[in-house]
Structure 1
Amino acid sequence: MAKKKTVFTCQKCGYESPKWMGKCPSCNSWNSMVEEIKNPPVISSSRTSFSSSSMPKSINNIKSGEYERLDTGIMELNRVVGGGIVRGSITLISGAPGIGKSTLLLQTASNIAEKYGKVLYVSGEESEEQIKMRGDRLETSADNLFIVSETNLDRIEEHIEKNKPVFVVIDSIQTLFKESISSAPGSVSQVRETSNDIMRIGKENNISFFIVAHITKQGELAGPRVLEHMVDTVLSFEGERTEEFRILRTVKNRFGTTSEIGVFEMIENGLREILNPSQVFLEEREAQKEGSVVIGIMEGKRPILVEIQALVSQTKAVIPRRTVVGMDVPRLNLILAVLEKKLRIPFYNCDVYVNVVGGLKIDGTFADLGLAIALVSSARSKEILLDNFLAIGEVGLTGEVRPVSYCGRIVNEAEKMGFKNIIVPYRNKEKINAEKINVIGITSLKEVLNKVF
């Protein structure tokens, strides 16, 4: 009998070593090396011949066309994945525990079962009775929705071959295992092999898969990075369990854009989609508040208005505190440096707190101008004089206000929401035709502060 060969595998990145090491040389993670049995590769006695379908073809001879998509019955989810779930695609969704991943997928599975046929929901973390209890709360009663509690991938494949579903949910990939692999469920080897089999099953049978994945304390996907490369779409479900709103964001999408977001609200009967996020984010806003400014941003093709708040307070600490929720700290430090250098406003002896209301994460430079105005308003303890005020623009290192893309769409959204005074970069104003609202074009921070205070 051949001696079993063991290797030490990093559970963070999949790096293999013949001996144990305290620190992984690939990803620099400590105490992540776990001993696993290395299965010998199966070598075929005869050379594999290529089929005609795998032969290279000229790109001009390959047929192309639109993918057939499944309507999930949830408009926000359809928007994020590019118009619906592509048949035969593999979608990976991750998020913090309790954020609502299973709730969203159970609602999606029920909607697809009512429209297209059999749907299989595979849970490795809950029993059939627990899923049924959640289904009763969500009022999901589709006859074609089948539930099974199973972690053995070979048995799951048998269920798929027997029932022939059009859509399969795996909750979660870290609980699955193959009997031919000796390592524990959730290990790098198990996740890699089970993902390969799921991809094979989906592509061969034209079945769409939704896979739930755990995340680490740092908010990253647990397991090998190859998992993200294998799937067609990667979704991230963000938000706080103590707050109502949830943000569904696309990280990777082979069949659509990665810049769209979906907004949901967690209620007693499950997740409710928010079709007008701007109205929701501004519901509790009170006009003319010190340190508060409404800004406009673009998420994909959708303009969103959101309130940004800043609090500046003097401190005697040697190193002032910089706390930001919903924005990047380096961007805040850049704006503070410009205000100190160009406007002579001291922040070196002040704690600065910034919050984006509603839990939205802002990327890009759309919020620069609004953040600068909010910081100056709080530092000087002055309210903004303009009524129904909104700011859009990027701030440069020399204090100039630079144009942003899609400014016209944001202005149109602001007009619908009742804003009357909108400050935009001067170069953007030249392309905007607005008669019912006051669009103010500016070129520098000094100019804008003279108009709002």
Structure 2
Amino acid sequence: MAKAPKMAFVCDDCGMDYPRWQGQCRCGAWNTLVEVRLSAAKTSASRPAVLGYAGAAGGGAKKLNEVESVEAEKRLTGIGELDRVLSGGLTTGSVNIISGDPGAGKTTLLSDLVARMSQSTASLYCTAEESLSQFKNRVNRLKLNYNEDNLYLLSETSVESIIEELEAKQIKFAVIDSIQAVVTDNANGSPGSPSQVKTAAQAFTQYCKKNNVTMFIIAHVNKNNEIAGPQTLVHIVDSLLHIDTNDGQIRTLRANKNRFGDVDTVGIFRMSERGMVSVDNPSEIFLSGSTTDSPGSTITCIRKGNRNLLLEIQCLTTETESEFPQRVCVGLNMNRIKMLTGILRKHTKTKIFHDTFFNIVGGLKIDESETCIDLALVTALLSSLNDFVVPRTTCIMGELSLNGDVRPIDSGVPRVKEAAQHGFTEIFIPFRNYHKSMEGLGAKITPVKTIHELLELIN
């Protein structure tokens, strides 16, 4: 008599399994356990070879000197900022995930990419969330150049059917839009469930590694702007790219994981009528371009990944018409602003009974960890409050401590070089960041130790 198949109950939200049904999962979700039939265990002699994430079929353990060293093959995509984030181009045979908020530009960027790749290789764009006519309208609207003999479109949700098309058309570059919309027969649950997402990603990765196919997979994000689905998804693929949407048309692309390069590089794009346009010199966007000197404006240098960006901080102070002054900031952390105004009141005896407005030119959002803008913030505030002008040829950078001292910042030399290359003639930096290599840059480097010293030099 044949044995009855074993059953388990798997949570659709987190993927945790239980031997019997229960109302609530440990993740806190209610009524999410689904009954799953487990396949019978096989002996090692009858078990077929199973491809791992890297596509290897086993072969036993080898000594290090017996392993053949193969350099990863990279190719430039023609999209400058994408090539920069991918550390020199797209790795052949890699599986990459790209995520971001709705409207961030994921489909727009990959539509441009698949059109460019079709110029040299058979490429396929599989859309499970929109019709083929919608995709064609986007290609025509963006005026993308593509090879009509090499570009294939597919509207399909079955993983097995997609892989069959990849095999039949001998596709070497593919885009899946999106992993939450496709389903596989080898997993239970609805589209987007942890089991479906994980199994589908494994199937795509195994096929790509075995057949040397390069693939991009679009993934949704949750309400915290993090990639949706099980964390296993991130471990399966080779790289994870994320698009951050700043106020306005600026987009930043960052690699949160990259097996073939570093994760410190940030790509800057501008959303336009022609799609996502690479910004080769982002400092020009984040500077207002004004030629007139006016109070309340200070220029500093921040670091996005391993890139140095010059940006302009603007501050406006006006007499308040209410009992309590307003504090408004765009692109900055409000708690940091409150702390800096407290330092000014304590150490410079500055009275701030005004409505205060801060703004970052270009719509860029500054991370809370980017403390090098402290000196520029307080200088812009005092400039507007006391009606004096900071020359537009002056760049100020440094962190301000609670006792009024100027603390050092990371990567001081590259920041100073970036400012000097853009024609700034005087650069204020923390005293401990000063280095002899800064002397031959054609700019006057002024190290400062305290906020009092900075204000005496500027006024």
TM-score greater than 0.5 by the shorter chain = yes
Residues 193-212 of structure 1 mapped to structure 2, 5 A cutoff: 193-212=199-218
Distance 1:414 1:420 in 2: 9
Distance 2:381 2:9 in 1: 55
How far did residue 57 of structure 1 move? 2.8
Q: 2:127 aligns with which of 118, 123, 128?
A: 123
CA deviation string 1:119-167 (max 9, x = no partner): 1111101111111111112223323111111110010010111122221
Q: TM-score, with normalisation over the residues of structure 1?
A: 0.87
Q: 2:359 aligns with which of 355, 362, 367?
A: 355
Comparing 266-275 with 402-411, greater Cα deviation is found at 402-411
- In the other structure, the counterpart of 1:19 is 22
Q: What amino acid does structure 2 have at the position aligned with 1:14?
A: G
Q: 1:98 aligns with which of 103, 124, 128?
A: 103
Q: What percentage of aligned pairs have identical amino acids?
A: 34
1:190 aligns with 2:208: no
Residues 146-185 of structure 1 mapped to structure 2, 5 A cutoff: 146-185=152-191
Contact kept, 8 Å, 1:247 with 1:360, in 2: the verdict is: no
CA deviation string 1:394-419 (max 9, x = no partner): 22343222333333333333233232
How far did residue 373 of structure 1 move? 2.0
How far did residue 423 of structure 1 move? 0.9
Q: What amino acid does structure 2 have at the position aligned with 1:258?
A: V
Q: 1:421 aligns with which of 421, 426, 434?
A: 426
- In the other structure, the counterpart of 2:53 is none
Q: 2:37 aligns with which of 39, 43, 52?
A: 39
Contact kept, 8 Å, 1:39 with 1:181, in 2: the verdict is: no
- In the other structure, the counterpart of 2:405 is 400
- In the other structure, the counterpart of 1:85 is 90
Contact kept, 8 Å, 1:8 with 1:20, in 2: the verdict is: no
Assess, with a 3 A threshold, how the Cα gap between structure 1 residues 263 and 385 changes in structure 2: closer, same or farther: closer
* Gap runs ≥5 in structure 1: none
- In the other structure, the counterpart of 1:438 is 444
Distance 2:96 2:443 in 1: 43
Distance 2:383 2:276 in 1: 37
Contact kept, 8 Å, 2:188 with 2:195, in 1: the verdict is: no
Distance 1:338 1:160 in 2: 62
Residues 367-382 of structure 1 mapped to structure 2, 5 A cutoff: 367-378=373-384, 380-382=385-387
1:9 aligns with 2:11: yes
How far did residue 46 of structure 1 move? 4.2
Distance 2:198 2:450 in 1: 53
1:230 aligns with 2:261: no
Assess, with a 3 A threshold, how the Cα gap between structure 1 residues 415 and 205 changes in structure 2: closer, same or farther: same
Distance 1:52 1:231 in 2: 18
Distance 1:377 1:312 in 2: 9
Q: 1:257 aligns with which of 256, 262, 266?
A: 262
How far did residue 209 of structure 1 move? 1.2
RMSD: 3.0
- In the other structure, the counterpart of 1:107 is 112
CA deviation string 1:189-235 (max 9, x = no partner): 21111111111112111211111111122212121122122221111
Q: TM-score, with normalisation over the residues of structure 2?
A: 0.86
Q: What amino acid does structure 1 have at the position aligned with 2:92?
A: R
CA deviation string 1:14-55 (max 9, x = no partner): 34463222xx644x6xx5752423231342144449899442
Assess, with a 3 A threshold, how the Cα gap between structure 1 residues 231 and 354 changes in structure 2: closer, same or farther: farther
How far did residue 2 of structure 1 move? 5.8
Distance 2:4 2:58 in 1: 38
* Gap runs ≥5 in structure 2: 50-55
SS of the equivalent of 1:137 reads: helix
Contact kept, 8 Å, 1:70 with 1:112, in 2: the verdict is: no
- In the other structure, the counterpart of 2:225 is 219
CA deviation string 1:411-437 (max 9, x = no partner): 333233232222112233342114643
Assess, with a 3 A threshold, how the Cα gap between structure 1 residues 327 and 230 changes in structure 2: closer, same or farther: farther
Contact kept, 8 Å, 2:114 with 2:123, in 1: the verdict is: yes
Contact kept, 8 Å, 2:286 with 2:364, in 1: the verdict is: no
SS of the equivalent of 1:408 reads: helix
SS of the equivalent of 1:367 reads: helix
Contact kept, 8 Å, 1:122 with 1:148, in 2: the verdict is: yes
Comparing 32-41 with 387-396, greater Cα deviation is found at 32-41
Q: 2:303 aligns with which of 279, 295, 298?
A: 298
Assess, with a 3 A threshold, how the Cα gap between structure 1 residues 342 and 58 changes in structure 2: closer, same or farther: farther
Assess, with a 3 A threshold, how the Cα gap between structure 1 residues 186 and 108 changes in structure 2: closer, same or farther: same
Contact kept, 8 Å, 1:10 with 1:32, in 2: the verdict is: no
Q: 2:250 aligns with which of 237, 245, 248?
A: 245
